[in-house]
Amino acid sequence: MVAIERVQGRGPARTAQRGDVVRGSYLRSTIHTVASADFLAFRPVLQQVIDRELETANWRAISGGFDPARVEPLARALMAQRPMSAQELGAALLAHFPDAQKAGLGHWVRTRVALAIVPSDDRWGYPRPPRFVPAEQWLQQPLAPASTAELLLHGIAAIGPASSADLRSWSGLRGIKPALEALRPRLQVYRDESGRELFDLPQAPRPRADTPAPVRLLPEYDNVFLSHDDRDRIVMPQHSQHFTQTANGRRLRAVLVDGFVRAGWSHACDKGKASIQVKLFDRFDAGTRDDIATEALALLHFLEPDADHHDVELHP
């Protein structure tokens, strides 16, 4: 096995290069950047979720023509030499399985093997197409599978008070009832207005209902927005139309005002000019508009620190 060169990055790239965080398929079978210890512990628990990628019509169209028992060791041997994209993996494996499809081979490895996306020296994100190595190789530590109950405790800490349906939405796991019931003595249990049980950690902060909530601009796939089975808790029904999924599950990013989604945002940067456009769903007083603009401008400077000009536009 050859050593993987770790380039000296800055900001998020530096954190990823040190191995403090890792990016790969995780909750809901989507790409997450998470603490490395969590990835090593919970990625094996989530394999059953990620395996559903091999049950789709698209997979049936590109599958077949290879022996899975032979693919994994061959793929690991290839990635031990250098990080590889799914396309490169598929092409290299095709020499061993000429009756298979390149896309099918690459997709199988991405699904069945716990892979880490190797970071580059970029400010944000990783290059396309991403390059992979097994997570154990990148982190130089073995996977250390935790239990479903331990994962649920992490979920409750993140989004509690949460119903069992919320935890299924958050994780993508099915059949969590036995693990949740085993945790019940360790949890604080409430009921919402509809009589549903909500689970929380006993020492978790639970602010009063009248506690002011600051304006927040959420990223595109933020757990606050995606992880609740009943999104009416934060999205008013009249505003849900603004968040219809498009290609690859993309949607408008949400803006929280007093804890509720009451606006959406997008941003662009071209020739040194960076801007955030905020689409307001409701009428706001001048003070609230100023709060939205201030938070948006701070985020824009964070996203585009090298831009010469930063501008926030509020649109009704």
| Cα separations in angstroms, 79 against 40, 49, 75 | 19, 24, 6
Mean pLDDT (the chain, rounded) = 90
* Separation between Cα atoms, residue 153 and residue 201, nearest integer Å: 8
Confidence of residue 125 (pLDDT cuts 50, 70, 90): low
User: Over 50: is that where the pLDDT of 6 sits?
Assistant: no
Please name the residue ranges forming H helices in the chain.
12-18, 36-42, 47-50, 57-62, 68-81, 86-94, 102-112, 135-139, 148-159, 164-171, 177-183, 223-226, 286-303
Take residue 117 and report the two structure tokens written for it. 């996306």
Over residues 133-155, mean pLDDT: 96
Amino acid identity at 115: L
Over residues 222-246, mean pLDDT: 81
* Separation between Cα atoms, residue 156 and residue 158, nearest integer Å: 5
Over residues 8-23, mean pLDDT: 72
User: Over 90: is that where the pLDDT of 46 sits?
Assistant: yes
DSSP state of 293: H
Preceding omega of 83 cis (within 30 degrees of 0)? no
253: enclosing H helix or E strand: strand 253-257
* Separation between Cα atoms, residue 228 and residue 232, nearest integer Å: 9
DSSP state of 1: -
Domain ranges of the chain: 12-139, 148-200, 216-315
Contact (CB, 8 A) for 66 and 106? no
Over residues 164-173, mean pLDDT: 95
pLDDT for the residue numbered 248: 58
Please state, for a pLDDT cut of 70, what percent of the chain lies above it.
Answer: 92
User: Over 90: is that where the pLDDT of 66 sits?
Assistant: yes
pLDDT for the residue numbered 250: 65
Exposed, middle or buried by CB within 10 Å (0-12, 13-18, 19+), for 312?
Answer: buried
pLDDT for the residue numbered 58: 92
| Cα separations in angstroms, 42 against 39, 173, 233 | 5, 12, 27
pLDDT for the residue numbered 1: 42
Confidence of residue 242 (pLDDT cuts 50, 70, 90): confident
pLDDT for the residue numbered 229: 86
The torsion angles phi and psi of 272, rounded to 5 degrees, stand at 80, 0
Please state, for a pLDDT cut of 90, what percent of the chain lies above it.
Answer: 74
* Separation between Cα atoms, residue 240 and residue 201, nearest integer Å: 30
